[in-house]
A and B are shown apart, each in its own frame.
Chain A
């Protein structure tokens, strides 16, 4: 089935720095979703992308749907402590299922 390769697997940054992570696939996706998961919680949808080339923002978060439809990027500007968590990209597999990337674990040093 389709697989999503997410990188980096982990990031250790200073508070206030910008963050960038990406997700790639060997096959085309028509939708890209970005989720954040806090410890002991379920994932929460951050941004949904539906069109190639689309650039969408949600506060300090910006995500882009790659032109080739095989990749997507998530950027976080001016990181703050509450940004700590695991970020997952996801895309539809078939009619109903979602496939997830391996996740990017973000750690912020105050």
Chain B
């Protein structure tokens, strides 16, 4: 149990366009999901906490207007990178948990390349 599906796994987009990444909890309901960003050879950095039915909570330094998060249902959260620039190229990972502190399940990640 506790499977998290992330889509797409890879995406290449042109500068100035927007990209949407989906994160789904397949066999459980997740009231909270998390979005991380990971640069090469670095650790995971939390970008925002996505709460079902309410606004996301962004970490300091993360632009909420650039990284739009929508958590409209208990099984789906989306991250939209708006007006993407090459510096937005990174590995984006979502996670969700059914039970607090029992270990969050991570999606398989999305490799975004902005050209």
On A, residues with C-beta under 8 Å from B are: 30-31, 33, 35, 40-45, 48, 50, 88, 92, 95-103, 105
Chain B 87-115 near chain A by CB (<8 Å), digits 1 or 0: 00001010100001111111111010000
Q: Which of A30, A31, A44, A88 is within 8 Å of B43, CB to CB?
A: A88
Q: A88-B44, A96-B32, A97-B46 are in contact. Are A40 and B103 (CB under 8 A)?
A: no
A98 to B91, CA, bound (A): 18
A50 to B101, CA, bound (A): 9
Q: How far is the CB of A96 from chain B (nearest CB, A)?
A: 6
Q: How many pairs, one residue from A and one from B, have CB atoms within 8 Å of each other in the complex?
A: 52
Which chain B residue lies CB-closest to A41?
B108
Q: Which of A35, A40, A96, A103 is within 8 Å of B49, CB to CB?
A: A96
Contacts of B102 in A (CB 8 A): 48
Q: How far is the CB of B104 from chain A (nearest CB, A)?
A: 6
Is there contact, CB below 8 Å, between B101 and A31?
Answer: yes
Is there contact, CB below 8 Å, between B100 and A44?
Answer: no
Is there contact, CB below 8 Å, between B93 and A42?
Answer: yes
Is there contact, CB below 8 Å, between A44 and B44?
Answer: no
Contacts of B67 in A (CB 8 A): none
Contacts of B78 in A (CB 8 A): none
Q: A96-B100, A97-B34, A98-B34 are in contact. Are A45 and B105 (CB under 8 A)?
A: yes
Which chain A residue lies CB-closest to B31?
A96
A32 to B4, CA, bound (A): 21
Is there contact, CB below 8 Å, between A92 and B43?
Answer: no
Is there contact, CB below 8 Å, between A98 and B46?
Answer: yes
Q: Which of B49, B107, B108 is within 8 Å of A97, CB to CB?
A: B49
Is there contact, CB below 8 Å, between A42 and B106?
Answer: yes
Q: Which residues of chain B from 54 to 104 have a CB within 8 Å of any chain A CB?
A: 91, 93, 95, 100-104
Tell me, yes or no, whether B6 is within 8 Å of chain A by CB: yes
Leading 9 A-B pairs by shortest Cβ distance: A42-B106, A45-B103, A42-B109, A100-B43, A48-B103, A42-B93, A43-B106, A42-B108, A100-B44
Is there contact, CB below 8 Å, between A44 and B106?
Answer: yes
Q: A98-B46, A101-B43 are in contact. Are A41 and B101 (CB under 8 A)?
A: no
